[in-house]
Amino acid sequence: MGLATRCAAAMAAALCAGTALAQEPQPYAERYARTCAPCHGGAGVSALPLTPSLAGQPAFYAITQLFLFREGRRDSAAMTAVAREMSNDDLRGYSEHIGKLPPPPTSPADADALRMERGAALTQRLHCTGCHGSDLAGGRQVPRLALQREDYLLHALRGFRAGSRVGYTPAMTEALAGVSPAELEDMAHYLARGPAAKAP
């Protein structure tokens, strides 16, 4: 818990320290278009396998993850290369830009009704909505899941389940304890297509 607390404090400081950003959002929009858009998409909707959409992610979640990449605590060759040289201002600037990208517009049309049903039931039963929100849109340091790429969601879930992705809190490892590989697949299928159920 000590580490998590220190980490959270460092990130909060990085995010909150500057107020200058509000006056100059432009440079990071441009830098995002140049540096990040080739992988994550200009509007933050990714068309690349295993590459997450960033659209609709809370700024605080984005800065948390950029921090973890920069410190080498979240493993990704692509993102480590990108984040290694980032200053705290960069973490903040990119994250603020990401936080302004509207969520992905629509879900893929190829929903499998049975898997959608199973996935929806699992996210209720396992209390995913308790942290990620009833609309699964996330908030603060908790990521948006709705309409994320299915392949990436499955990769992330498997990573937490196997312990190869370490969050800054044990929340996800605990949430997935005892969940089967097939259940992870059903949840990824469901989440990628958004919660159809408005208010269960």
38 sits near ligand HEC (criterion: CB under 6 A): yes
Cβ neighbourhood burial of 13 (10 Å; 0-12, 13-18, 19+): exposed
Smallest CA-to-CA distance from 197 within 89, 102, 122, 139 is with 122
Among 96, 157, 185, 186, binds ligand HEC (CB under 6 A): 157
Residue given tokens 């297509």 in the structure block: 193
172 sits near ligand HEC (criterion: CB under 6 A): yes
Nearer to ligand HEC, 15 or 145 (CB): 145
21 sits near ligand HEC (criterion: CB under 6 A): no
| First-to-last C-alpha distance (Å) of the chain | 34
82 sits near ligand HEC (criterion: CB under 6 A): yes
* Smallest separation, CB 63 to ligand HEC (Å): 8
C-alpha dist (Å) from residue 49 to 29, 66, 111, 140, 155: 24, 20, 19, 26, 11
15 sits near ligand HEC (criterion: CB under 6 A): no
Distance between CA atoms of residues 106 and 184, nearest Å: 22
Nearer to ligand HEC, 112 or 127 (CB): 127
60 sits near ligand HEC (criterion: CB under 6 A): no
Contacts of 158 (CB under 8 A, 6+ apart): 181, 184
Contacts to ligand HEC by CB under 6 A: 35-36, 38-40, 50-52, 54, 57, 62, 65-66, 76, 78-79, 82, 94, 123, 126-128, 130-132, 141-143, 145, 148, 153, 155-157, 167-169, 171-172, 175-176, 187
